[in-house]
Structure formats: structure tokens, C-alpha cells
């Protein structure tokens, strides 16, 4: 009896065939495509055993550093462009609608409802920035009772409150509802450019490949309304130097907003603002559900 040598192609074929009897067509498709592409990747780059062991170590470290407050797997997805790719496929945006972008790892549930014009800052510091506008449907009609879930970082510490053990629990986040005419307004702080966490395996990748870890300054929001598709997005500060090189590829030109500067003593200053401040007037446009 002749003995045939097992080739790399034989191994791929066996791994693919192991899913042939899978009863879920979608699960079968996902796992067979995963095997096919993983094997093609390893073949293309002639993956060495040492590199494979290093990759296992990186995945292990990714799990080890991940907690309720720190999601290193999302960082991998974001910094490899996968999050934006999945988002783009899931949320095609017709012209005129507010485009989506990544959720990011710093959103937390349980923000408190706030009233029209209320400040989301729960401690002093930062540059007051008044965000206002209307939530509209794609045909331009205002939407009453639309919900905005907003969150941002703090220029005084360059951190999201979830990263800062000293921050008040509800600092720099809140839930707002549009008024009967679809209008919304809230007092935030001027967001600042920040680096994604660099002390884990993603940071090591960024350093080893000569990339930078910066994200351009932005306000996060999730807008939702009955009968409409929710949108997860950001508004980016037009003056950021990192708009063209966001480490997570999240910038879309339609989401860049100029922040208008107002000097101290401006009679139109929002309540409680004495010094200089900024403003951003922008609508959020939602797509009706089919």
C-alpha cells in the first residue's frame, strides 16, 4: 500500500470539510470562509511557527487586558479598519442622511436624561461648547421626541470619564430629547484629540509599525427616533490636525463640523458661561425605516 504525503492543501480541504454537515447554512458559510481565508493568509505570508506562536501570545494578552472598562478586542477591530468596514456594510446612508461611524469602546449605558440646554459637565474645567440644531427625517421634517445619547472626553485630562476613576459618574454624558419642533441643545465641552490606549497589545502594534495612536477631536452621539433607523456617529472638530489620519479610520467628510469661537462677554452666551465659548449648530438627519 502506497503512502501519500499530506500536503498543505490537503489540510485546508479537511478543515473545510469538517463543517460540511453543519445544520446552520450561515454558520457553515462563516466558518468555512474563515478557514479558507486564514489558510490563504498563512500560505501567502509563509507564516512561520515562531510568528504563529507570537500571534497566539498577542491574542492571549488581548484577553488578559480586557475588562468591563477596557475592550482591547474592539481596539483591534477599530485599528485594523474592520469596525468601519462592518459599519459601512450595515448602514448604507442615502444622500442627506447623517452618516454613521464607529461606536468606539467608551460608550456606557445608563446615562441620565437631561433637559434642553443642560450641561453634561459635572465638574469645572474645559471650554464650554454649545451644540444645537434639529433632528430631522430625511425629507427635512423635524422629529419631536427623538433621543440623543451623547458622550465625549475632557480636554482637562484628555480622558473619557470611564477611564478616569476620579470623574463623577455621569460626567460628560447624557440623554436628550428633542422638543416639539425637533430642536435640541446641550452644553458640552470642546472635545480634544486623544490617543487610544497604548499600554496593551494594540499599542505595541501601533508602535512597531510606525503608526500614530491619535484620534481627531469629536463628540459621540447615538440618535434614535420611532420609525427611523438609529445612527451611531461622531461630530468631528474641523480644526483637528488628525482628520486625515484617524487611527481607527472613522472620519467621514460629512461629519466634520466647524466650532465657532465666541469671546468672553458675548451676550448670547449660554446660561452659566462667563468666559469664551464655542458653538456648533448642526442637524441630525435620520432615515425612515422601510
Crossing angle of helices 201-208 and 49-65, in 10° steps, is 130
Cβ proximity to Fe ion: between 104 and 174 the closer is 104
Burial of 184 per CB tally in 10 Å (0-12, 13-18, 19+): buried
Cβ proximity to Fe ion: between 218 and 228 the closer is 218
Cβ proximity to Fe ion: between 64 and 198 the closer is 198
Give the total of residues touching Fe ion (CB under 5 A). 1
Tell me how far, at minimum, the Cβ of 128 lies from Fe ion, in Å. Answer: 19
Cβ proximity to Fe ion: between 19 and 214 the closer is 214
Q: How far apart are CA 21 and CA 44, in angstroms?
A: 28
Tell me how far, at minimum, the Cβ of 160 lies from Fe ion, in Å. Answer: 7
Tell me how far, at minimum, the Cβ of 157 lies from Fe ion, in Å. Answer: 14
> Strand, coil or helix: what is 250?
coil
Beta-sheet pairing, 218-224 with 231-237: antiparallel
Cβ proximity to Fe ion: between 129 and 178 the closer is 129
Site string for Fe ion, 103-142 (x = CB under 5 A): -x--------------------------------------
Closest-CA residue to 256 (of 215, 218, 221, 212): 218
Cβ atoms within 10 Å of 46's Cβ, excluding its own = 7
Tell me how far, at minimum, the Cβ of 96 lies from Fe ion, in Å. Answer: 25
Cross-strand bridge partners of residue 119: 187
Region from 14-22, 96-104, 107-115, 242-250 binding Fe ion, contact rule CB under 5 A: 96-104
Q: How far apart are CA 165 and CA 169, in angstroms?
A: 9
Region from 97-105, 141-149, 260-268, 274-282 binding Fe ion, contact rule CB under 5 A: 97-105
Cβ atoms within 10 Å of 140's Cβ, excluding its own = 10
Tell me how far, at minimum, the Cβ of 35 lies from Fe ion, in Å. Answer: 35
Q: How far apart are CA 272 and CA 190, in angstroms?
A: 16
Tell me how far, at minimum, the Cβ of 52 lies from Fe ion, in Å. Answer: 33
Which positions lie near Fe ion, rule CB under 5 A?
A: 104
Amino acid at each position: 500500500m502506497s503512502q501519500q504525503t499530506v500536503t498543505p492543501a490537503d489540510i485546508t480541504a479537511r478543515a473545510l470539510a469538517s463543517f460540511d454537515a453543519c445544520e446552520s447554512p450561515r454558520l457553515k458559510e462563516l466558518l468555512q470562509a474563515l478557514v479558507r481565508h486564514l489558510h490563504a493568509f498563512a500560505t501567502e505570508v509563509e507564516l512561520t511557527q515562531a510568528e504563529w506562536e507570537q500571534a497566539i501570545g498577542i491574542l492571549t494578552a488581548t484577553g488578559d487586558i480586557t475588562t468591563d472598562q477596557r475592550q482591547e478586542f474592539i481596539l483591534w477591530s477599530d485599528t485594523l479598519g474592520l469596525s468601519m468596514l462592518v459599519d459601512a456594510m450595515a448602514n448604507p446612508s442615502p444622500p442627506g442622511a447623517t452618516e454613521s461611524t464607529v461606536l468606539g469602546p467608551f460608550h456606557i449605558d445608563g446615562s441620565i436624561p437631561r433637559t434642553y440646554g443642560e450641561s453634561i459637565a459635572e465638574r469645572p474645567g474645559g471650554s464650554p461648547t454649545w451644540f444645537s440644531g434639529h433632528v430631522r427625517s430625511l425629507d427635512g421634517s423635524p422629529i419631536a421626541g427623538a433621543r440623543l445619547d451623547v458622550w465625549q472626553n475632557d480636554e482637562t485630562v484628555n480622558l473619557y470619564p470611564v477611564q478616569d476613576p476620579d470623574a463623577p459618574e455621569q460626567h460628560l454624558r447624557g440623554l436628550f430629547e428633542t422638543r416639539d419642533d425637533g430642536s435640541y441643545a446641550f452644553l458640552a465641552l470642546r472635545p480634544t484629540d486623544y490617543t487610544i490606549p497604548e499600554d496593551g497589545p494594540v499599542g505595541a502594534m501601533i508602535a512597531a509599525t510606525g503608526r500614530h495612536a491619535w484620534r481627531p477631536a469629536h463628540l459621540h452621539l447615538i440618535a434614535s427616533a420611532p420609525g427611523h433607523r438609529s445612527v451611531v456617529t461622531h461630530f468631528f472638530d474641523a480644526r483637528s490636525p488628525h482628520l486625515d489620519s484617524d487611527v481607527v479610520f472613522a472620519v467621514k467628510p460629512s461629519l466634520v463640523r466647524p466650532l465657532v469661537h465666541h469671546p468672553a462677554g458675548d451676550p448670547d452666551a449660554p446660561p452659566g458661561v462667563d468666559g469664551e465659548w464655542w458653538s456648533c449648530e448642526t442637524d441630525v438627519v435620520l432615515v425612515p425605516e422601510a
